[in-house]
């Protein structure tokens, strides 16, 4: 598994199954845990197998370095009871909803944008209705008196 260690002491690597970009503190090298996106057991790479990036944690450099070496899935699989649950490293990645292809944050941002659009549309109709009523008020009252 190709990986990169940045100046901020994070090991950056890719899940072999779902290709989610992950990072973990360098103290957790060789730690086994499920991928937060797909659940596949992954092992964080060892420092000896990482390339160091001095002074940069740019995602583009990480992607290029990780993608230049194809990730090989591990042959050995173990059960969930083999994975220690007490000191799991914090993965700096957000799971993707398989139905939408979006993270929870992206879905929430989309919902917020939809609400804002509906509010703006409602405001637009109120402004148009106010304009129409103010311009045609005498004719509206005459029509109402004549027809009702």
> For residue 35, what pLDDT is reported?
86
Q: Determine the Cα–Cα distance for residues 83 and 92; give it in Å rounded to an integer.
A: 19
Q: What stretches of the chain adopt beta strand conformation (E)?
A: 3-6, 10-14, 21-25, 32-34, 41-43, 50-53
Condensed to tens digits (0 to 9), the pLDDT of residues 29-46 reads 777 888 888 888 888 777
Domain ranges of the chain: 3-94, 96-148
> For residue 59, what pLDDT is reported?
55
Ramachandran region of residue 80, left (φ > 0), alpha (ψ -120 to 50) or beta? alpha
- The reported pTM is 0.34
Q: Which band of pLDDT confidence, cut at 50, 70 and 90, is reported for residue 4?
A: low
Condensed to tens digits (0 to 9), the pLDDT of residues 111-136 reads 999 999 999 999 999 999 998 888 88
Task: Report the SS3 class of residue 103.
Answer: strand
Whether the per-residue pLDDT at 23 is higher than 60: the answer is yes
Task: Report the SS3 class of residue 116.
Answer: helix
């Amino acid at each position: 598994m190709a990986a990169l260690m940045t100046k901020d002491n994070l090991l950056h690597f890719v899940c072999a199954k779902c290709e989610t970009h992950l990072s973990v503190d360098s103290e957790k090298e060789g730690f086994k845990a499920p991928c937060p996106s797909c659940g596949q057991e992954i092992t964080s790479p060892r420092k000896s197998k990482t390339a160091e990036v001095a002074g940069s944690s740019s995602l583009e450099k990480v992607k290029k370095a990780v993608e230049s070496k194809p990730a090989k899935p591990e042959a050995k699989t173990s059960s969930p009871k083999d994975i220690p649950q007490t000191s799991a490293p914090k993965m700096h990645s957000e799971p993707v909803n398989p139905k939408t292809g979006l993270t929870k944050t992206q879905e929430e941002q989309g919902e917020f944008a939809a609400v804002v659009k509906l509010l703006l549309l409602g405001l637009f109709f109120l402004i148009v209705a106010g304009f129409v009523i103010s311009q045609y008020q005498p004719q509206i009252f005459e029509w109402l008196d004549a027809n009702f």
